[in-house]
Amino acid sequence: MSITQIVTQVSQPQTILAKPRRSLFSCCNKRNNFVQMADEKPYLTEKQKLVDYTEPNTTTVVEQKIPVQIIQQPKKLLVLDLDETLVHTSFQPVQNADFSVDILIEDAQTVQKFTGYVYKRPYVDEFLAKMKQQFEVIVFTASIQQYCDLVMDILDPDKVIKKLYRTDCTFQNGAYVKDLRRFETDLSQVILMDNSALSCMMQPQNSIICPAFYDDKSDTYLQDIENLMEVLSQCTDIRKVLLGVRDTK
């Protein structure tokens, strides 16, 4: 197994104008005013100009449902991507990573060891602590289970956050897609935050496309989006709130 089979990531742009490219390796005006957050639009991409509030395409085959028990009603379900949303992992040695994980991959004849050097997105610990109070949280990654579990053991030591992996994704048009219809939950109560529009293609109306994180220690996205997340945690239908934000573009 190669590194690109462990983690699904978006390649880092070489310049500020470069658009992220998908590889096999896997908002806000600060916190004061929800309405004004659309002005800076750090969590919406050009691809979301095509997004309107519509019901999911029921003609698409839905794979076996994933049961999700909402423990504390009326909490909504927040589905978070891992790589380039909460963390970024390099498999080349770096000096300023926040922690490292060792992934052991066994095949028929050998055991391969890969060391991942993980950058935590600034404010991720505080963000996850608050999200666990406001939502039922699931990390849904297109990466393999062993890697995700090791990273989440650091980010979520009390093991409150549930986890889903590449094997739970729907593979469509060469991409690992996160189809929210697989959850046994009303879609008006489900949010997906991911840096990849491809991952969100099945329910873009439920999605927040966030800027990809690599190693920028000055990144404030998770802090800036807090006010929007609080609004979403209390609304009746998250799709209508997100549509309202997009309509201000």
pLDDT in tens, 20-45: 333 323 334 333 333 333 333 333 33
Return contacts of 52-58, CB within 8 angstroms, 24+ apart. 52/205, 52/243, 53/205, 53/239, 53/240, 53/243, 54/205, 56/180, 56/181, 56/187, 56/202, 56/203, 57/202
The mean-pLDDT minimum among 41-50, 61-70, 150-159, 189-198 falls in 41-50
Would you state the pLDDT for residue 39?
A: 34
Q: Which residue of the set 83, 194, 219, 224 is catalytic?
A: 83
Highest average pLDDT, of 48-62, 172-186, 207-221, comes from 207-221
In total, how many domains does the chain have?
1
Predicted model pTM: 0.77
Res 58 pLDDT > 50: no
Residue 235 banded pLDDT, cuts 50, 70, 90: very high
pLDDT in tens, 195-223: 999 999 999 999 999 999 999 999 999 99
In which domain, by residue range, is 235 found?
A: 42-247
Confidence of residue 106 (pLDDT cuts 50, 70, 90): confident
Q: Is 14 a member of any domain?
A: no
Round to whole Å and give the CA distance between 28 and 226. Answer: 9
pLDDT at 57: 44
**10 in any annotated domain:** no
- Identify the band that residue 129 occupies on the pLDDT scale cut at 50, 70 and 90: very high
Spatial CA neighbour of 214 closest among 191, 195, 197: 195
Catalytic residue among 39, 81, 98, 125: 81
Query: Catalytic site residue 83?
Result: yes
Whether 26 maps to a domain, the answer reads: no
Give the mean pLDDT of 126-151: 97
How far, CA to CA in Å, does 68 sit from each of 37, 75, 101?
31, 12, 28
- Clarify whether 81 is annotated catalytic: yes
In a domain, 215, yes or no: yes
What confidence score (pLDDT) does residue 63 get?
61
Is there a domain that residue 53 lies in?
yes
What pLDDT, on a 0 to 100 scale, did the predictor assign at position 7?
74
Q: From CA 41, how far away is CA 34, in angstroms rounded?
A: 11
Q: What is the CATH number of the domain that holds 176?
A: 3.40.50.1000
User: Minimum mean pLDDT among 62-71, 99-108, 134-143, 189-198: which range?
Assistant: 62-71
Residue 103 in any domain: the answer is yes
Task: Kindly state whether residue 4 falls inside one of the protein's structural domains.
Answer: no
20 belongs to a structural domain: no
> With bands split at pLDDT 50, 70 and 90, how would you rate the model's confidence at 17?
very low
Check residue 28 and give its pLDDT. 41
